Amino acid sequence: MHKPDPREAVTSLHDLSAVDLIEGFKAGQFSPSEVLEDVLTHVAAWEPHIKALYAFDPDGARAVARTSTERWQKGEPMGLLDGVPVTIKENIATKGVPVPLGAASVKLVAAERDAPPAARLREAGAVIFSKTTMPDYGMLSSGLSSFHPLTRNPWDLGKNPGGSSSGAGAAAAAGYGPLHLGTDIGGSVRLPACWCGLVALKPSLGRIPVDPPYVGRVAGPMTRIVDDAALMMSVLSKPDRRDGMSLPPNDINWRALEKSPRKLRIGLMLDAGTGQALEKDVREVAVKAAKAFESAGAVITEVDGVMTREILDGLDNFWRARMWDDLSKLPPAERAKALPYILKWAETGAKLSGVDVIRGFNATMAIRAAAAKLFCEIDYVISPVSPVVNFAAELAAPINDPDKPFEHIAYTVPWNMAENPAVSINGGFDKKGFPIGVQIVGRRFDDIGVLGMAKAFEGLRGPQKPWPSPPKK
């Protein structure tokens, strides 16, 4: 079985990795039904405090787990994830479940079919027991939503789990099973992973087919260990023709994670080029990560960020106009149900000229050019994920100002636009024990390399803190 991280003191089934669960099913040590019941008991202890779930379906999951148990008893599992509990972010369609996009302004209509990532998980035998929460339209790095209850961070209930994969991050940190699926267009799996102590991969654009596809939009795994993220990728990366932006099928060996940092050229990016100032604790964790790779033989060079004020403001204008296009089509009464922060931010999009919006979109091309130039000289980048350690649960963003909405994503958003794979992994903790993430970025299409670097870092970083326990009644 997988050797647990020191902070993963296995006391119950919900703490086991997906890799360990599969081995346990094979050996007959426990069944999918037993695992699910343990997860559901743990959910009952945590959920009143963190509100991570949407469309929770324990009875439906029990039926799926029973059939999985029967298959394992016969030695006939249907796929790589047969019997493993999984959650799916609310905006990834699952058949028969409405997709509110975190917003009270969205009309509730049951999805007609599974989106590609959900379909792959179901085909692999995963036990999907719930969807997870997100903020309005996925446009906040926060657990704040006009549709869902406020989602909180298990490490500190007064703090934000991040977003937009807020429920997925909170659920993973709280131990709602090993596998959670999020989406990311500017940092939405990596920021919650940073603030919740997790591993999250934003793959190369198109590596995981999605529906609907969009510029920079990807789905990605959110897990406690790198091996589980790789296991999910072996399922999620299978082809689906519904995504016209997806990559050609590729026989990547997702288990081939052994990678030596020796002689690799790694850029340490401590200045994103714009955005919020880097807090001291975050800087120290990123520098410590770089030194760990240096001790393993890597060549570390400080590099400049690829963002500028003009680029970040351009992205802001582009997204404001895009959001206003959606909101402007709603009747005023329905539009008013959206989060006030989102409304105030999007309304200014109506005042932008066509040239303003095109300049904003062209910022994505400037990022691509800068990223390509950077990776001519280096193999990987190490950087902070977020410039700040944490922020209050009730806020929409670290700077709670719709006129400055994206100051905290300058380290994450460039890799969506440039299409590079990037992983967030826990690098340490502040003095109060709150997790701080480190980001590892690779060249386009080097998804397995990025995961290999994250796997190497797991071995370099040393013992980690135990996962948080449910609050006492």
Q: What is the DSSP string of 300-326?
A: EEE---S--HHHHHHHHHHHHHHHHHH
- 319: closest CA among 356, 292, 284? 356
Q: Distance (Å, rounded) from C-alpha 154 to C-alpha 149?
A: 15
Residue type, 255: R
Find the helix or strand (DSSP H, E) in which 365 lies. helix 354-374
- 3-state percent breakdown (helix, strand, coil) of the chain, nearest 5: 40, 15, 50
Token readout for 55 is 């469309």
Find the helix or strand (DSSP H, E) in which 131 lies. strand 127-132
**SS3 per residue for 319-364:** HHHHHHHHHCCCCHHHHCCCCHHHHHHHHHHHHCCHHHHHHHHHHH
- Write out the catalytic residue numbers: 89, 164, 188
Q: Which residue has the tokens 């959110």?
A: 222
Residue-wise burial string across 373-391, b where 16 or more C-beta atoms lie within 10 A, e elsewhere? ebbeebbbbbbbbbbbbbb
Q: Distance (Å, rounded) from C-alpha 13 to C-alpha 396?
A: 34
Q: Distance (Å, rounded) from C-alpha 254 to C-alpha 430?
A: 32
Q: For residue 93, what are the CA distances in angstroms to 77, 167, 239, 277, 322?
A: 25, 16, 17, 37, 21
Question: Are the C-beta atoms of 435 and 384 separated by less than 8 Å?
Answer: no
Question: Are the C-beta atoms of 183 and 219 separated by less than 8 Å?
Answer: yes
Q: Distance (Å, rounded) from C-alpha 85 to C-alpha 179?
A: 7
Q: Return all residues near 202 (Cβ < 8 A) that are at least 6 apart.
A: 184, 187, 189, 190, 218, 220, 412, 415, 416, 421, 422, 423
Question: Are the C-beta atoms of 15 and 473 separated by less than 8 Å?
Answer: no
Residue type, 468: P
Q: Distance (Å, rounded) from C-alpha 303 to C-alpha 80?
A: 40
